[in-house]
Amino acid sequence: MNAASNSSSKFRRTALQVADAQQLILPRVPRAAVETVNLIEAQGRILAEKVIAPHPYPHFRRSGMDGFALRSEDTKGASSEEMVWLEVVDEIPCGSLPSVVLKPGMVARIMTGAKVPDEADAVVMLEMTETRESGGTFIGLKREIEAGKNVTPVGQELAQGELILDHGRAISAGEISVLATFGIANVQVAVKPRVAIFSTGSELLRVDEPLQDGKIRNSNTYTLAAQVRAAGAEPFMLEAIEDDLVLAKGRVEQALAEYDFVITTGGVSVGDFDIMADLVREDGVELLFNKIAMRPGSVTTAAVKNGKLLFALSGNPGACFVGFELFVRPAIQTMMGSVTPYLTSFEAILGSDYNKVNNFTRFVRGRTEIQEGKVYVYPAALDESSVMITIKDSDCLIVIPPTTNGVTAGESVQVLKLSGTPA
């Protein structure tokens, strides 16, 4: 089929702004099922429940340092000229409980994190005391100690019944630390979406095949699999599809039946062999968009069939990479219930001139640097759609609005932080 000659109204190729295209996708994303996993397996997952503190933290008054637990009223009048002497009657290691009731004039030796006796209301640092032995062990103080000194109160960090973590939050080391502290050994998380990945084109070689003149290795599927995994989903790299519309249709329909999302790369232009451009015009396919006012990746396409999302990304490595980050990643994150599905945006200073003239907004691969407390971003030297080598050196996308003059170093630009890879 000649895609260029097809006059179907479904393929008008009206260019949408990135934000408008993103908003067309998210309402079509179903929510993932929920499963319970052990805390040790929860890293990188999206929390599917609110977690409420089952007890206050800390749940007992604890010492903030090594020293002596005492009654602050016993230190009244202490000075360099007239020291106050108090008797040591107990020793409380961390994890042990007080064994002696502190009466007036008594103190307990205590370690950091140990339970403060009920009768004590302060802890004095070991270094602030003098010690003498005279029918027992006594400590001397040269200053008064105020109530509450070096004592961590019950519930200082969280009270019982307070929200620990809200649903939709990504679980990393900090969240795991908090959950473990409250004895929450299992958590409910969104099931990882299963994502099928195809490359299309008769020019593709397997990664392990020797080079052939006029052909390239199928690297995009590996890139996409890594991006899918970084987004929190499970990638499934399927065999590349040759330039055959009937074969492509059957393979994609089968994948849509078996997986939560389908991503293809290549074949989304309007040339004679751009089979994905033809496929999204088939009956029963709801085309969301087939052109974005962006570079690279203006041919990025999204469609829905039988309630499943199909993303057809450019075959150019740079454009494929950017298209995933802007459109597929938010869909995966949304399916898992993330409250922050989009790449984090911030302002930075452009570190070098960017001279390309743009009719569309450009999402330029770049790197960030901190200089004298300010964030600078530097565009990659090679940033064409077909260039893949600079992907490895980029930690951000620099947003360059349409311009007829380029952007000068020193100007403020919007930057999107590229997602990292969960362990």
- Cα dihedral across residues 262, 265, 271, 272: positive or negative: negative
Terminal alpha carbon distance of the chain: 45
Q: 111 and 45, same structural domain?
A: no
Domain-located, residue 340 = no
Q: Where do the H-state alpha helices sit in 161-288?
A: 173-181, 220-230, 245-258, 275-279
> How far apart are the C-alpha atoms of 179 and 371, rounded to whole Å?
37
Domain-located, residue 44 = yes
Query: What DSSP element (H or E) covers 21?
Result: helix 18-25
Residue 183: is it exposed, middle or buried by C-beta count within 10 angstroms (0-12/13-18/19+)? Answer: exposed
Instruction: Please give the structure tokens belonging to residue 377.
Output: 């971003």
CATH label of the domain that carries residue 410: 2.40.340.10
Report for 8-12, 156-160, 380-384: range of highest mean pLDDT: 156-160
Q: 376 and 271, same structural domain?
A: no
> How far apart are the C-alpha atoms of 88 and 106, rounded to whole Å?
6
Among 201-205, 271-275, 284-288, which stretch is predicted with the lowest mean pLDDT? 271-275
Q: What is the DSSP letter of 16?
A: B
Instruction: Please give the structure tokens belonging to residue 177.
Output: 């630390």
Nearest one of 124, 130, 93, 95 to 107, comparing CA atoms: 124
**Confidence at residue 214, expressed as pLDDT on a 0 to 100 scale:** 64
**Confidence at residue 217, expressed as pLDDT on a 0 to 100 scale:** 65
20-74, pLDDT tens digit by residue?
Answer: 999 999 999 999 999 999 999 999 999 999 999 999 999 999 999 999 999 999 9
Residue 232: give the domain boundaries: 3-32+192-335
Query: What are the phi and psi torsion angles at 247 (to 5°)?
Result: -65, -45
Domain-located, residue 422 = no
107 near 130, Cβ under 8 Å? no
* Residue carrying the six token digits 């008008």: 12
Q: 328 and 244, same structural domain?
A: yes
Q: 93 and 17, same structural domain?
A: no
**Confidence at residue 153, expressed as pLDDT on a 0 to 100 scale:** 97
368-378, pLDDT tens digit by residue?
Answer: 999 999 999 99
Query: What are the phi and psi torsion angles at 177 (to 5°)?
Result: -60, -45
Number of folded domains that form the chain: 4
Q: 47 and 70, same structural domain?
A: no
> How far apart are the C-alpha atoms of 337 and 49, rounded to whole Å?
10
Q: 299 and 237, same structural domain?
A: yes
> Is residue 7 very low, low, confident or very high in pLDDT (cuts 50, 70, 90)?
very low
